[in-house]
Structure 1
Amino acid sequence: MSLNSIFQYFVPKDKKVFFPLFEQASSNVVGMATILVEAVNSTNTASREEMFKQIDKLENKGDELTHQIYLELGKNFITPFDREDIHALATAIDDVADYIHGAANRMNLYKVEGPNEHIKKLSELILQASVDLEKAIKELKDLRNVRNIADSCIRINSIENQADYVFDRAVADLFLYEKDAITLIKYKEIYAALETATDMCEDAANVMESILVKNA
């Protein structure tokens, strides 16, 4: 057992504020990903724009939660696990939210009509990875179900690999079939933002795996 793990037993329960904040942040990301999937599958332009606005509001909420984690990190001498891991995990979760928001914002600003199957598939993969991210984070508070955390991290890694394949196929199709240069650039930027969101989920999973190793 690490020295930091021993210290956490002496931290008053009301001082353990990081876990609820992480859980709220991951739940917020699931909310954003859920709305994203609904938006890209909607055939109503007005409804899709309204959903993009909801994503924008949730991204702001995520920023506030991340800022709160950073504040608590500065105020608390003893932390449940390494300070660097707390910072890295908070940053990775915030990055997932940022890239979901970035993709939605680009679709809205670029006036993308009827998102294609590549966008729909990447959005679905983001949601799957976000759900597993939330599951793993909920298990962090006591580290009793290490296997559950590890399994979620493995699934996130697998989902990220699937997203890489979908992204490569999507870009290849653009270069093969899209003749309009402006449209090509628009879609490539959207694909990149969506795929990077899964990369950030993998980053968060890597941090959690590091936490597991350090507390083994």
Structure 2
Amino acid sequence: MRKELIKIMAKKNEYNYFDQFVKLEDYSCKCAEILHETLSNFKTETLGDKLKEIHKIEHSADLAKHDMMNRLASEFITPIEREDIMSLSQKIDDITDAVEDVLIKIHMFNISVIRPEVLEFTGLIVKCCESLNLALKELYNFKKSDTLNDKVIEVNHLEENGDVLYYDSVHELFTQSKDPVELLVWTEIFNRLEKCCDACESAANDIESIVMKNS
């Protein structure tokens, strides 16, 4: 019965939860792109402006999520379980927040030079967000999709690469420096970078759970 509701709701309602998931992840992708571009062409004098730019996107993502929750509260029937809609939308929002938080920490700690490992991380985060976005675009059609499972696996694989990069980066940091402030600052930044990949994997796990429940 619920499987048929997905088709019915799409026809009866202009508001489509599956489309909204993708739109929420679009915000994450945009934030990831800004983060990577900002740190690849790092200029301390423009960092404040970039922080405002990324915060504006994060705020728009919050508004879109609140709109989804308001809509959900008034719906009698939903295409998938309410708890799944709430969970997945929150997991996607967590990604956007995590990406913004990286730039906040770099600005807060008054970083003047970006370590090369950071750019590897931000490039990886962009890929994670893009793969998750593609997975979300296939979620509506999960029974017939030939790529959804591959994209979920890809996000998981990228997150594992992030774990390795995190370990190597922190190890290299402690090998090169004995300065307690430098160690504290960069360990925190690497932690925040890893959380971005973790957040993507968490959302991918929700997608996998939704597919299993509705198969």
Paired amino acid for 1:7: L
Aligned-pair RMSD on alpha carbons? 1.6
Q: Which residue matches 1:6?
A: 4
Paired amino acid for 1:183: E
Q: Which residue matches 1:74?
A: 73
Residues 91-125 of structure 1 deviation map (CA, whole Å, 9 limit, x = unaligned): 11011111101111000111111211111111111
Secondary structure, aligned partner of 1:146: coil
Instruction: Report the number of matched residues.
Output: 214
Paired amino acid for 1:6: E
* Amino-acid identity (%): 29
Q: Which residue matches 2:99?
A: 100
Mapping 1:41-52, distance limit 5 Å: 41-52=40-51
Q: Which residue matches 2:211?
A: 212
TM-score, normalised to structure 1, is 0.92
What is the alpha-carbon distance in structure 2 between the residues aligned to residue 8 and residue 16 of structure 1?
12
What is the alpha-carbon distance in structure 2 between the residues aligned to residue 127 and residue 137 of structure 1?
15
Mapping 1:1-216, distance limit 5 Å: 3-11=1-9, 12-216=11-215
Deviation at 1:15, TM superposition (A): 4.9
What is the alpha-carbon distance in structure 2 between the residues aligned to residue 173 and residue 89 of structure 1?
35
Deviation at 1:212, TM superposition (A): 1.5
Deviation at 1:145, TM superposition (A): 4.2
Deviation at 1:147, TM superposition (A): 2.7
Residues 45-95 of structure 1 deviation map (CA, whole Å, 9 limit, x = unaligned): 223432222111111111111212221221112111121211111111011
| Contact 2:42–2:114 (Cα < 8 Å) also in 1 | no
Deviation at 1:202, TM superposition (A): 0.4
What is the alpha-carbon distance in structure 1 between the residues aligned to residue 158 and residue 92 of structure 2?
16
In the alignment, structure 2 segments of 5+ residues that lack a partner are none
| Contact 1:33–1:100 (Cα < 8 Å) also in 2 | yes
| Contact 1:93–1:201 (Cα < 8 Å) also in 2 | yes
TM-score, normalised to structure 2, is 0.93
What is the alpha-carbon distance in structure 2 between the residues aligned to residue 160 and residue 70 of structure 1?
28
Deviation at 1:25, TM superposition (A): 0.7
Deviation at 1:149, TM superposition (A): 1.1
| Runs of 4+ deviating beyond 3 Å | none
